[in-house]
Amino acid sequence: MTHPTLTARSRQGSGRLADLLFRGSSRIAAGVVVVLLILIALLLAWNSRLTWQTFGLGFITGQTWDPVAGVFGALPFIVGTILAASLAVIVAAPIGIFTAIFLSELAPRRIATPLTFMIELLAAIPSVVIGLWGVFILAPFLRDTIEAWIVTLFGWIPFLGGPAHGIGLFTAAVILAIMILPTIVTISREVIQAVPGSQREAMFALGATRWETIRRVVVPYARSGIIGAVILGLGRALGETLAVTMVIGNKDAIPSGLFDQAQTIASKIATSFSEASVGIGTSSLIALGLVLLILTVILNVVARLLVLRVASPVGGE
């Protein structure tokens, strides 16, 4: 929406020139934002061309990453990324959605306000600090408790076998779940709050309990927005680097089990980039980056569209 009043030009000569300059420079600044996005994609594609020329799509399906032999395959990292991120979402989505419901529908304001604030604070903690806590506190704790229990009770199920190291896929997923919780909670809360009050009132008037109102009216109404929130969380989990790098174990192979060590795309780039030989080594890591870029951009676009469907006022911007 533009303001018709502002599009009228000033009549003073000097003012007009300054106006043009100002308008022009602000347009350039906005252009920079758009160009930046395009440049990111182009530069990653261009600088990884050597890898795509050499391996083609075989790069994505290849299972070996051996810089010495000059063979580069991304599959272990793609699998690691998807496994870690989806496990994180499985843990974080129900907790996050229930929390959002609690904050917007159930809790009195004097509880909801500080809780919301604390959850936003969790999002502000730098990744590396959470990683440090993950390595020295969370990983040993999980190893001795949850991981040990699962191995003893369900170790006979193929994917759940031991040994539990603490450092590995499982801990990475838990760390990721913690880090994407704020995303899921704040956005779900927003879309739930956008559900018109009349919908709830109609339900109450019919004698429904609070929970029935939430389950049959509020959540269905906000559904696409909540799905969007979860997808945004997934997108964050795919790209999260430092904390994951510190706890996942950095093993360049497809993990054989839940507690095995693994590697994500982001953690592979983080650990190998500065040692890679310029040429095919660097190019392959940038190619990995391009794969990650495509994944996250697609997820983000889909998620934003879903959230917009619920959260934007009808006919507004």
Partner 1 sequence: MVAVTPAVRTGRLTGTRSANRRTRTDKAMRFIAGLAAVACVIPLGAVLIFVTLNGISALNLDLLTKPSRAQGIGGGAAAAILGSIQMVLLATVVAIPFGVLAGVYVREFASARVARAVRFAADVIVGIPSILIGIFVFTFLVLPFKQYNAFAGSIALAVIMVPVIMRTTEEILKLVPVSLREASLALGIPMWRTVFSVVIRTGLPGILTGIMLAVARAAGETAPLLFTALGSRFVNVGDFSKPMDALPLFVYINARQPYELQNQQAWGAAFLLLLFVLVVNVLVRARTAGRRAQ
Q: Is 317 in the site for partner 1 (CB under 8 A)?
A: yes
Minimal distance, residue 204 CB to partner 1, in Å: 10
Radius of gyration of the chain (CA): 24
* 9 secondary structure, DSSP code: P
Question: H/E element holding 65?
Answer: strand 65-66
> Which of positions 29-88 make contact with partner 1 (CB under 8 A)?
29-30, 32-34, 36-37, 39-40, 43-44, 46-47
Give φ, ψ of 3 to 5 degrees: -95, 120
> Which of positions 210-229 make contact with partner 1 (CB under 8 A)?
210-212, 214-217, 220-221
* 63 secondary structure, DSSP code: -
Among 74, 130, 167, 262, binds partner 1 (CB under 8 A): 130
> Which of positions 83-122 make contact with partner 1 (CB under 8 A)?
94-96, 98-99, 101-103, 106-107, 113, 115, 117-122
Minimal distance, residue 201 CB to partner 1, in Å: 9
Contact 69, 55 (CB under 8 A): no
Query: Rounded to an integer, what distance in angstroms lies between the CA atom of residue 285 and that of residue 41?
Result: 15
Contact 311, 188 (CB under 8 A): no
Among 80, 235, 255, 257, binds partner 1 (CB under 8 A): 235
Tokens 């009228």 correspond to 8
CB nearer to partner 1: pick between 151 and 286: 286
C-alpha 133: how far from its chain's center? 20
Stretch binding partner 1 (CB under 8 A), from 3-11, 69-77, 146-154, 164-172? 3-11
Minimal distance, residue 156 CB to partner 1, in Å: 29
